[in-house]
Amino acid sequence: MAEAQIIDGKAFAARLREKIAACVAALKRDHGLVPSLSVVLVGEDQASQVYVRNKGRQTEEAGMISATHRLPAETPEGELLDLIGTLNGDETIHGILVQLPLPDRIDEAKVIAAIDPAKDVDGFHTTNVGRLWTGLDAPVPCTPQGCLLMLKETLGELKGKRALVLGRSNIVGKPMAALLLAEHCTVTIAHSRTEDLPERCREADILIAAVGRPEMVRGDWIKPGAAVIDVGINRVEAPEKGDGKTRLVGDVAFDEAKRVAGFITPVPGGVGPMTIANLLRNTVIAACRQNGLPDPWYKRR
Ligand code: NDP
């Protein structure tokens, strides 16, 4: 059997960013509107710092306004909530993102609930979660939206396909399942208590792995010809690169899986780049809605 076709998330994301930049230029030209995103980062988490830097850079490269609010790890919860209140009330700011995870002492749910749902470009506010599950228009969480866009462009119609989402987090697994359901897939959500997991995976035409366990999904868990989307980002030791070196791997054993799957995303270079591109897209949509303009992607969703 031929090896799987690689789904090139970097290329997908570059094309999406081009469309976003064109859209931003048109908004500026025709309406004098410049979409603006404010990112709030609390603490010194290394990975979060890198994500936030990349988000800011790509927002500006697309022609939008980016602001980052860096708060010390010991910032009281009330101060963070006050900042969110100020950003909510500022008409020139269209999107607000609080980088997760937050320090343990801060109540994540309370912080997400404080963001104006219209500015919630992560799509994590319970109002937007409810809207997504009930089929109403809402900002869609960026990572699952990226997975869906790649699947639709690669496979075309998803109707009737059996999809298995491995992982049930609020930021990936659950919204991913909602999106696939809306595409008329038959969806199974698997998790740490699922029985016969390899067998359940082998039934899937579409397998989304979002567990955070390095290379857990083996080649013989995959239905021949299936589309495999690997959301996992795991840093593992890489002695072959030298002492103390590390490398990134996904939740899928890529070398085994590509011999069985029909389509597969690599790690890195798969889902990751699409996440930020969708954040920019959500910011543009939020800016349009807040200014009474149509969602530029409405018909294409
Ligand atoms: P969470 O830790 O919140 O959720 C993991 C899920 O996997 C849980 O539902 C858990 O089940 C399930 N799980 C854990 N171990 C097993 C197991 N042995 N068997 C079956 N299910 C298991 O993770 P996230 O959803 O936040 O992230 C998942 C992965 O995706 C991580 O590697 C993360 O780094 C990556 N990620 C990548 C992004 C990107 O842009 N590419 C963005 C966001 C995340 P249970 O609920 O029963 O505990």
Which residue reads 């543009």 in tokens? 284
The beta-strand segments (E) located in 65-185 are 65-71, 95-98, 162-166
| Contact status, residue 111 vs residue 79, Cβ threshold 8 Å | no
Identify the three-state secondary structure at position 58.
Answer: helix
In whole angstroms, give the CA distance from residue 34 to residue 68.
Answer: 17
Supply the CATH classification number for the domain 32-117.
3.40.50.10860
Q: What is the pLDDT at residue 298? A: 73
Please give the distance, rounded to the nearest whole angstrom, from the Cα atom of residue 145 to the centre of ligand 1.
16
In whole angstroms, give the CA distance from residue 207 to residue 260.
Answer: 12
Q: What is the pLDDT at residue 205? A: 98
Task: Tell me if residue 107 is catalytic.
Answer: no
Q: What is the pLDDT at residue 301? A: 45
Nearest alpha-carbon partner for 224 in 211, 207, 238, 237:
207
Q: What is the pLDDT along the chain (301 residues), one digit of tens a residue?
A: 789 999 999 999 999 999 999 999 999 999 999 999 999 999 999 999 999 999 999 999 999 999 999 999 999 999 999 999 999 999 999 999 999 999 999 999 999 999 999 999 999 999 999 999 999 999 999 999 999 999 999 999 999 999 999 999 999 999 999 999 999 999 999 999 999 999 999 999 999 999 999 999 999 999 999 999 999 999 999 999 999 999 999 999 999 999 999 999 999 999 999 999 999 999 999 999 999 999 998 754 4
The beta-strand segments (E) located in 35-185 are 36-42, 65-71, 95-98, 162-166
Please give the distance, rounded to the nearest whole angstrom, from the Cα atom of residue 234 to the centre of ligand 1.
10
Please give the distance, rounded to the nearest whole angstrom, from the Cα atom of residue 210 to the centre of ligand 1.
5
Q: Which of 58, 99, 119, 251 is catalytic?
A: 99
In whole angstroms, give the CA distance from residue 97 to residue 112.
Answer: 9
- Ligand 1 atom with the smallest distance to the CA of 267 is 41
Please give the distance, rounded to the nearest whole angstrom, from the Cα atom of residue 35 to the centre of ligand 1.
31
- Ligand 1 atom with the smallest distance to the CA of 274 is 40
Nearest CA to ligand 1 atom 17: 192
Q: What is the pLDDT at residue 300? A: 46
Domains 32-117 and 142-272 share a fold: yes
Nearest CA to ligand 1 atom 4: 169
Q: Which of 119, 120, 122, 251 is catalytic?
A: 122
Q: What is the pLDDT at residue 210? A: 98
Instruction: Judge if the upstream peptide bond of residue 117 is cis by omega within 30 degrees of 0.
Output: no
Which residue reads 């059996």 in tokens? 162
- Ligand 1 atom with the smallest distance to the CA of 270 is 41
**Residue to probe by mutation, ligand 1, list 51, 58, 192, 195, most atoms within 8 Å of CB:** 192
Task: Tell me if residue 223 is catalytic.
Answer: no
Please give the distance, rounded to the nearest whole angstrom, from the Cα atom of residue 171 to the centre of ligand 1.
9
**Residue to probe by mutation, ligand 1, list 122, 191, 282, most atoms within 8 Å of CB:** 191
Rounded alpha-carbon distances, angstroms, from residue 26 to 6, 104, 106, 173, 293: 33, 42, 40, 35, 12
Pick the CATH number of 142-272 from 3.40.50.360, 3.30.230.10, 3.40.50.720, 3.30.300.30: 3.40.50.720
- Those residues whose C-beta lies under 8 Å from the C-beta of residue 120, and which sit 6 or more positions away, are 96, 112, 127, 128, 139
Please give the distance, rounded to the nearest whole angstrom, from the Cα atom of residue 260 to the centre of ligand 1.
23
Task: Tell me if residue 99 is catalytic.
Answer: yes
Please give the distance, rounded to the nearest whole angstrom, from the Cα atom of residue 282 to the centre of ligand 1.
23
Nearest CA to ligand 1 atom 16: 192
In whole angstroms, give the CA distance from residue 80 to residue 101.
Answer: 14
Q: Of all helices (H) and strands (E), which one includes residue 79?
A: helix 77-89
Pocket residues for ligand 1 (CB within 6 Å)? 143, 167-169, 171-173, 191-194, 197, 210-213, 231-234, 271-272, 275
Q: What is the pLDDT at residue 299? A: 58
Structural domain boundaries of the chain?
32-117, 142-272
